[in-house]
Amino acid sequence: MRVLVTGGAGFLGSHLSERLLATGHEVICLDNFFTGQRKNIEHLIGNRNFELVRHDVTLPILLEVDRIYNLACPASPVHYQYNPVKTIKTSVMGAINMLGLAKRTKARILQASTSEVYGDPEVHPQPESYWGSVNPIGIRSCYDEGKRVAETLFMDYHRQNAVDIRIIRIFNTYGPRMHPNDGRVVSNFIVQALRGQDISIYGDGLQTRSFCYVDDLISGMMGVMEQTVSIGPVNVGNPGEFSMLELAQLVMELTGTKSRLIYHPIPSDDPRQRKPNIDRIKELLGWEPTIALREGLVKTIAYFDQALATSQTKSQVD
To ligand UDP, the closest distance from the beta carbon of 290 in angstroms equals 22
> Which is nearer to ligand UDP, 44 or 193 (by Cβ)?
193
To ligand UDP, the closest distance from the beta carbon of 192 in angstroms equals 8
To ligand UDP, the closest distance from the beta carbon of 87 in angstroms equals 13
* Alpha-carbon gap, residue 296 to 289, rounded angstroms: 11
Contact 5, 20 (CB under 8 A): yes
Q: Sign of torsion, CA 139 151 15 256?
A: positive
Query: Where does this chain bind ligand UDP (CB under 6 A)?
Result: 76-77, 172, 184-185, 188, 200-202, 207, 209, 244, 267, 270
For residue 117, what is the DSSP state?
A: G
* Alpha-carbon gap, residue 116 to 130, rounded angstroms: 12
* Alpha-carbon gap, residue 221 to 236, rounded angstroms: 7
Do β-strands 2-6 and 67-70 pair in parallel, antiparallel, or remain unpaired?
A: parallel
Residues 104 to 133: which contact ligand NAD by CB under 6 A?
Answer: 112, 114
Helices marked H in the chain: 11-22, 38-41, 77-80, 84-105, 141-161, 185-195, 214-226, 244-255, 279-285, 293-317
* Alpha-carbon gap, residue 194 to 297, rounded angstroms: 13
58 binds, among ligand UDP, ligand NAD, none (CB under 5 to 8 A by kind): ligand NAD
Binding segment (CB under 6 A) for ligand NAD, from list 10-18, 224-232, 281-289, 290-298: 10-18
**Residues 83-102 vs ligand NAD: string with x where CB under 6 A?**
-------x---x--------
Single out the residue of 27, 10, 28, 7 nearest to residue 19, CA to CA: 27
> Which is nearer to ligand UDP, 101 or 201 (by Cβ)?
201
Helix axes 141-161, 84-105, angle to 10 degrees: 20
Contact 87, 56 (CB under 8 A): no
Of 5, 13, 134, 278, the one binding ligand NAD (CB under 6 A) is: 13
Of 36, 125, 220, 271, the one binding ligand NAD (CB under 6 A) is: 36
Q: Is 288 left (phi over 0), alpha (psi -120 to 50) or beta?
A: beta
244 binds, among ligand UDP, ligand NAD, none (CB under 5 to 8 A by kind): ligand UDP
207 binds, among ligand NAD, ligand UDP, none (CB under 5 to 8 A by kind): ligand UDP
267 binds, among ligand UDP, ligand NAD, none (CB under 5 to 8 A by kind): ligand UDP
Q: Which of 80, 118, 143, 157 is catalytic?
A: 143
Residues assigned a catalytic role? 143
Q: Give the footprint of ligand NAD on this chain (CB under 6 A).
A: 6-7, 9-13, 31-36, 56-58, 71-75, 90, 94, 112, 114, 170, 172-173
